[in-house]
């Protein structure tokens, strides 16, 4: 079975959803058949690589694979790769009647410091025959000399409407049935990551054509929000033992780690109707106990301590 993230990947810039402002500027570059070096920065699954490939397709047509070199995080990212593979591709003329080739460096923030310094000179020396598109999660990990040579585009997590529009298009093609609760569940799980949303949908589709809310949470290994809401309400209400027992049951049911549980609690608190002052106190405690877990403390002991702190917050 074909992987849906590739099968339904947008082929043109017009098909990209949720990044209208970025796409508008990129279409202007394509129309002029002239690109600066580009740096795409933003979270995973927001369309960075998709936009780069769409640019190549629209510029080169059927010959796009001959004029595009794509290197990703699975490739060697040291200085030797920049000096050999990248440099050799950059110094040759494009195939066909095109002004330049494109080199796409996926996950560019994984490049070593020395490799980035070598890349800086390569970008300068071969700008007449080649354009670079770098995509990364954190632009701060790209050295300033490279950033100053690029037009920087920042991709945001996709909004709920964009994710649901994309999911419904795939569901229609695959003849799947989803209700409103299932769509809401997909967005809660993926948090703006379109790739994760599609992967979850494909996993659920292997179980049946009717996709339910419960199926999505179980397949994603994520607790249903209302279950963790009950934990928080019990803890804030002083029912510490009941809250702990319920949290342990949820973690066992969905196979959650302590950090997973904390991250989901944080997402629920942000969207809850609790008073802002209480929200701040709870978020402060969640952050403190997440730090303790990352440092290696026993997660079950720290979760019990967190619920005890929430009981004190509830009393105040």
Taking each helix axis as running N to C, give the angle between helix 225-236 and helix 299-315, from 0 to 180 degrees, rounded to the nearest 10.
Answer: 60
Q: What angle do CA 41, 108, 91 make, to 5 degrees?
A: 120
pLDDT score of 288:
93
pLDDT score of 237:
87
Instruction: Decide: 182 and 37 in contact? Cβ < 8 Å.
Output: no
**Along the 316 residues of the chain, how does pLDDT read in single tens digits?**
678 888 889 899 999 988 999 999 999 999 988 889 999 999 989 999 999 999 999 998 888 888 898 887 656 666 777 777 888 888 888 887 888 999 999 888 888 888 888 888 888 888 888 999 999 998 889 999 999 999 999 999 999 899 999 999 999 999 999 888 899 999 988 888 999 999 999 999 988 889 988 889 888 888 888 888 899 888 888 888 999 999 999 888 888 888 888 988 888 888 788 888 888 889 999 999 999 999 988 888 999 999 999 888 877 6
What Rg do the C-alpha atoms of the chain give, in angstroms?
23
Q: What structural domains does the chain harbor?
A: 4-154 (3.40.50.300), 160-220 (1.10.8.60), 225-315 (1.20.272.10)
pLDDT score of 186:
92
pLDDT score of 73:
60
Number of H helices and number of E strands within the chain?
16, 7
- pTM score, two decimals? 0.83
Residue from 315, 289, 291, 288 nearest 304 by CA = 289
C-beta contacts of 141-150 below 8 A and 24+ residues apart: 141/109, 142/39, 142/108, 142/109, 142/116, 143/113, 143/116, 143/117, 145/117, 145/120, 146/39, 146/116, 146/119, 146/120, 147/39, 149/37, 149/120, 149/123, 149/124, 150/36, 150/37, 150/38, 150/39
For the stretch 288-297, pLDDT in tens is 999 999 998 8
Instruction: Decide: 234 and 253 in contact? Cβ < 8 Å.
Output: no
What is d(CA 14, CA 212) in angstroms, rounded to the nearest whole number? 31
pLDDT score of 1:
60
């Amino acid at each position: 079975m074909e992987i849906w993230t590739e099968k339904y990947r947008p082929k043109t810039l017009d098909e990209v959803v949720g990044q209208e402002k970025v796409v508008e500027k990129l279409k202007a570059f394509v129309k002029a058949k002239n690109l600066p070096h580009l740096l795409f920065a933003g979270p995973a699954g927001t369309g960075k690589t998709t936009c780069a490939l769409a640019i190549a397709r629209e510029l080169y047509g059927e010959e796009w694979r001959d004029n595009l070199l794509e290197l990703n995080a699975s490739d060697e990212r040291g200085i030797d790769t920049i000096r050999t593979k990248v440099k050799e591709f950059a110094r040759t003329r494009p195939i066909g009647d095109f002004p330049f080739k494109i080199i796409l460096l996926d996950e560019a923030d994984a490049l070593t410091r020395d490799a980035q310094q070598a890349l800086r000179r390569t970008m300068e020396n071969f700008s007449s025959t080649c354009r670079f598109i770098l995509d990364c999660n954190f632009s701060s990990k790209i050295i300033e000399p490279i950033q100053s040579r690029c037009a920087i585009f920042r991709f945001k997590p996709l909004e709920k409407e964009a994710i649901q529009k994309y999911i419904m298009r795939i569901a229609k093609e695959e003849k799947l049935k989803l209700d409103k609760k299932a769509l809401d569940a997909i967005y809660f799980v993926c948090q703006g990551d379109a790739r994760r949303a599609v992967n979850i949908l494909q996993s659920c589709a292997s179980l049946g054509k009717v996709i339910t809310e419960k199926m999505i949470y179980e397949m994603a290994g994520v607790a249903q929000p209302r279950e963790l809401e009950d934990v928080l309400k019990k803890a804030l209400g002083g029912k510490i033992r009941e809250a702990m027992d319920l949290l342990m049951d949820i973690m066992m049911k969905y196979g959650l780690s302590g950090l997973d549980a904390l991250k989901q609690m944080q997402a629920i608190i942000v969207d809850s109707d609790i008073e802002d002052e209480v929200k701040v106190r709870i978020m402060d405690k969640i952050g403190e106990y997440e730090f303790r877990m990352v440092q290696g403390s026993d997660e079950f002991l720290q979760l019990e301590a967190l619920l005890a702190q929430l009981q004190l917050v509830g009393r105040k």
